[in-house]
Chains A and B, each alone.
Chain A
């Protein structure tokens, strides 16, 4: 595994470094406009597990309202679903109970976006990853997403792919902040540009180095994500996958796509040439065979 991840790092190469150096504006720099990706910084040391973000999310997205009084749900790990785009889980860690919110990470170079055959999932230049109804429901996005976020309505004859949309339509486009961030009573969630949120995260780690593990989850994972996490304990203790690597997901298929484009271009003339060669080379045998069958005819 070591060797492989090393190879992967090599493969990421310059693009990975560029992302690290100028977080959040990689895409904008390409497009030549100055819009920066937005981001939310989640500070797991602050979260108290009140789940008000869950309620605000449900309200903003017209989903069934969660029963906040029922604290027992925190006991078992929950995942996002078609009826809830965000959940808060409680983890028993070496530093006691830690609460963590999960939702779509709004990856910089999202696996789901590169997977979708009809561009139903799109990364906005403002950062949010959104789904639209030209989707044909192949569920490849669900296979591809490293965080298992897109969910489909299996019980509907006209299912949608549902997930957090960063409240872009509901809030951000109206210059408001996402519903969950607004609802958080303790400031565990902070909304801003990705660059600023990374700055903020680093500052917190520098000023209180004992409080945090020195890692910002989402800074480099899968090429960087729009949701960034600070944690008091190593991230594998609070339900994060730490084996995803830093290679942006589109990179996994890029090489193959190029190869096939080359095959599609080169194979036809090659095959034509081969068939021509074969037809002259086998000319003799073909005539023989024909003679033979002719002769055998009753």
Chain B
């Protein structure tokens, strides 16, 4: 179909914006993006201090805490679903695999960009790659490499969608061929960097409040990325279903709802494991007495309010098939993850100092800019590429024989 168009025409129609320009979404996001871009220019010409509230005591703020730590956890759905679908062979997840890898890829690309904003000396950003200093003993080095390679894996995993869009059968075949490799590597790399972003904080034993510092931090981050990622998939799914309603028929919707219930079950189980680890850690560190302090209350809010409660809701929701409850639980658990990452990186970090860090409005606007830009690209892609995982034209029409595949 697409292949019949001339290439020039194809790019012309495809690259141009589709749909109305004046929509509520555009009206809200465009001004924010414009302001954000100005702020980014200021940041690069006048230094980090000109837009952020970072200080010598709090070298990591919103951009690391949210864009990177929370962002990576939320994007965990891609590796979890790949594990379930490709490795464990649960075929029913097929319809949401591609959209989830797309989300993962966009998230990683944009958060990498956000990370560059945060780097003090961004022109050296690739030093870890090109060997201008290999910090083999550094967790940051490990995370950087795993993060970088994983982004490539995600691109390969999503590439069939791109191939179908531009109608290149050759590319399609090639990326499908290496797909399993990318998946396996991707999962491995995800274990590495999902736990790795937690492991960064192993080096701050004397700075992070004992309720959050733990030798288990890497494991806690890894396990929580499973339910954080799936919660995001559930949450996104409910939004996409609403926004892109025209693209779904009833059958799709039913099938999708079935998946939501299955994912809720996985969330409940992993949250249970997570809580268990948390409890173990609390006991191991003999930190019970700390619970009766202000930081203890914060800890309880995080662990009870945003882990235990959504855990119960996930469990009940998946038993009664109540989508509303599951979606609320997903939202709660996402808030919980954000709170947890903020706690580790900002709130419980240097907690004994009188000075505190609060993000400046400019840091918030830049963060929103990154998110909105990602949504723009996401929308652009979704309107063009086949992301809801039906087979491409040539596969659908051709009889499933060996000759056809070669023809």
Using a CB–CB cutoff of 8 Å, the interface residues on chain A facing chain B are: 1-4, 79, 81, 111, 113-120, 133-140, 142-144, 146, 148, 151-159, 161, 241, 243-245, 249-250, 252-254, 256-257, 260, 263-264, 267-268, 271-272, 274-275, 278-279, 281-282, 285-286, 289
B54, B88, B137: the one contacting A114 at CB < 8 Å is: B137
Contacts of B54 in A (CB 8 A): 154
B49, B135, B218: the one contacting A256 at CB < 8 Å is: B218
A-B contact pairs, 30 of them (CB 8 A): A1-B210, A2-B286, A4-B284, A114-B137, A115-B139, A116-B133, A116-B138, A117-B128, A117-B135, A117-B138, A117-B140, A118-B132, A134-B133, A136-B119, A136-B120, A137-B119, A137-B120, A138-B118, A142-B56, A143-B200, A153-B47, A245-B206, A252-B205, A256-B202, A267-B187, A267-B188, A271-B183, A274-B88, A275-B87, A282-B89
- Assess the A118–B127 pair: CB atoms within 8 A: yes
Given A252-B203, A257-B142, A260-B192, are A157 and B184 neighbors across the interface (CB < 8 Å)? no
- Assess the B91–A114 pair: CB atoms within 8 A: no
Interface residues contributed by chain B, number (CB under 8 Å): 67
CB distance from A12 to the nearest CB of B (A): 13
Closest B residue, CB atoms, query A122: B133
How far is A151 from B58 in the complex, measured between Cα atoms in Å? 11
How far is A79 from B125 in the complex, measured between Cα atoms in Å? 29
- Assess the B120–A152 pair: CB atoms within 8 A: yes
CB distance from B81 to the nearest CB of A (A): 14
Closest B residue, CB atoms, query A294: B400
B389 contacts partner chain A, Cβ-Cβ < 8 Å: no
B161 contacts partner chain A, Cβ-Cβ < 8 Å: no
Given A142-B59, A152-B59, A275-B89, are A1 and B188 neighbors across the interface (CB < 8 Å)? no
Closest A residue, CB atoms, query B396: A297
- Assess the A136–B203 pair: CB atoms within 8 A: no
- Assess the A159–B120 pair: CB atoms within 8 A: yes
- Assess the A144–B124 pair: CB atoms within 8 A: no
How far is A282 from B92 in the complex, measured between Cα atoms in Å? 11
Given A144-B203, A267-B191, are A154 and B48 neighbors across the interface (CB < 8 Å)? yes
- Assess the A244–B206 pair: CB atoms within 8 A: yes
Give residues 303-359 of B contacting A (CB, 8 Å): 349
How far is A70 from B118 in the complex, measured between Cα atoms in Å? 37
Binary CB contact string for chain B from 94 to 133 against chain A (1 if under 8 A, 0 otherwise): 0000000000000000000000001111101101100011
Binary CB contact string for chain B from 161 to 200 against chain A (1 if under 8 A, 0 otherwise): 0000000000000000000100111011101100110011
- Assess the B56–A152 pair: CB atoms within 8 A: yes
CB distance from B165 to the nearest CB of A (A): 23
Contacts of A139 in B (CB 8 A): 59-60, 120
CB distance from A258 to the nearest CB of B (A): 11
Give residues 290-312 of B contacting A (CB, 8 Å): none
B48, B128, B139: the one contacting A253 at CB < 8 Å is: B139
Contacts of B122 in A (CB 8 A): 136-137
Contacts of A4 in B (CB 8 A): 284-286
What is the predominant secondary structure among interface residues of chain B facing chain A? helix
Q: Kindly list the 8 A-B residue pairs having the minimum CB-CB distance in the complex, ordered from nearest.
A: A137-B120, A154-B49, A278-B89, A118-B133, A117-B141, A119-B133, A139-B59, A136-B124
Counting chain B CB atoms within 10 Å of each CB, the highest count among A2, A148, A151 belongs to A148
- Assess the A136–B127 pair: CB atoms within 8 A: yes
- Assess the A120–B133 pair: CB atoms within 8 A: yes
B50 contacts partner chain A, Cβ-Cβ < 8 Å: yes
Contacts of A154 in B (CB 8 A): 47-49, 52, 54-55
Contacts of A272 in B (CB 8 A): 180, 184
CB distance from B33 to the nearest CB of A (A): 22
Contacts of B134 in A (CB 8 A): 118-119
How far is A271 from B181 in the complex, measured between Cα atoms in Å? 10
CB distance from B147 to the nearest CB of A (A): 11
How far is A271 from B195 in the complex, measured between Cα atoms in Å? 18
How far is A138 from B135 in the complex, measured between Cα atoms in Å? 13
CB distance from B249 to the nearest CB of A (A): 11
Known: A120-B133, A253-B202. 18 other contacts (CB 8 A): A116-B140, A117-B135, A134-B124, A134-B132, A135-B120, A135-B121, A138-B140, A140-B203, A146-B206, A153-B120, A154-B55, A155-B50, A253-B199, A257-B137, A260-B192, A263-B191, A271-B183, A282-B89
- Assess the A285–B187 pair: CB atoms within 8 A: no
- Assess the B46–A256 pair: CB atoms within 8 A: no
CB distance from B222 to the nearest CB of A (A): 10
- Assess the A282–B91 pair: CB atoms within 8 A: yes
Given A117-B141, A281-B89, are A148 and B57 neighbors across the interface (CB < 8 Å)? yes
How far is A114 from B44 in the complex, measured between Cα atoms in Å? 28
Contacts of B119 in A (CB 8 A): 136-138
Given A118-B135, A256-B202, A264-B192, are A159 and B48 neighbors across the interface (CB < 8 Å)? yes
Contacts of A81 in B (CB 8 A): 56
Given A1-B210, A114-B137, A260-B142, are A275 and B203 neighbors across the interface (CB < 8 Å)? no
CB distance from B94 to the nearest CB of A (A): 9
Contacts of A153 in B (CB 8 A): 47, 120
How far is A254 from B202 in the complex, measured between Cα atoms in Å? 10
A136, A140, A274: the one contacting B121 at CB < 8 Å is: A136
Contacts of A263 in B (CB 8 A): 188, 191-192
- Assess the B120–A118 pair: CB atoms within 8 A: no
